[in-house]
Amino acid sequence: MTKHDLESRMWADACDLMEQAERMRRQFFTPGRAPTRQPAWEPPADVFEDERAVWIIVALPGVPADRIEVTVENGSVVVAGMRPMPAAARRAALRRMEIPHGRFERRVPLAPGRYEIGRREIADGCLILSLNKL
């Protein structure tokens, strides 16, 4: 292995570790943005837009629909709620935890304009929202 190959490999490994650390920080250590909010993890989200609507897809596997709140406030859609710990996990010793549980909150900024929440459904572990442009 040449010196250049070794440096490239070390750089790639370092970047992978930084990405993993950032992903864990977002999932587990992102506090609420106001002093009154509780710490929360952030689920990943995709946003699509056309001339009539904005669609937001938030990955929330294992979260019952009745534990998800959706609001539009201060130019953002806020998806918040709680992913409960599985009953078996409450009685067992923890060996590894990669799936975040507890309170979550995801704020998705919107382009300036007026919106109303249209369709809202859970499919394949994802919350799918449509926001109609007014």
Write down the pLDDT at residue 8. Answer: 79
Same domain (yes/no): 22, 3: yes
Q: Please name the amino acid found at residue 19.
A: E
Contact (CB, 8 A) for 66 and 102: no
Write down the pLDDT at residue 86. Answer: 85
Task: Note the pTM of the prediction, 2 decimals.
Answer: 0.72
Domain range holding 21?
1-30
Same domain (yes/no): 67, 118: yes
- What are the structure tokens assigned to 79, written together? 């998806």
Residue ranges, the chain, pLDDT below 50:
34-36
- Residues 6 or more apart whose CB falls under 8 angstroms from that of 87 comprise none
Pairing of strands 126-133, 115-123: antiparallel
CATH number of residue 117's parent domain: 2.60.40.790
Same domain (yes/no): 77, 17: no
Contact (CB, 8 A) for 39 and 103: yes
CA gap 2, 106 in Å, rounded: 45
Write down the pLDDT at residue 105. Answer: 95
- Residues 6 or more apart whose CB falls under 8 angstroms from that of 80 comprise 40, 68, 69, 71, 103, 104, 105, 106
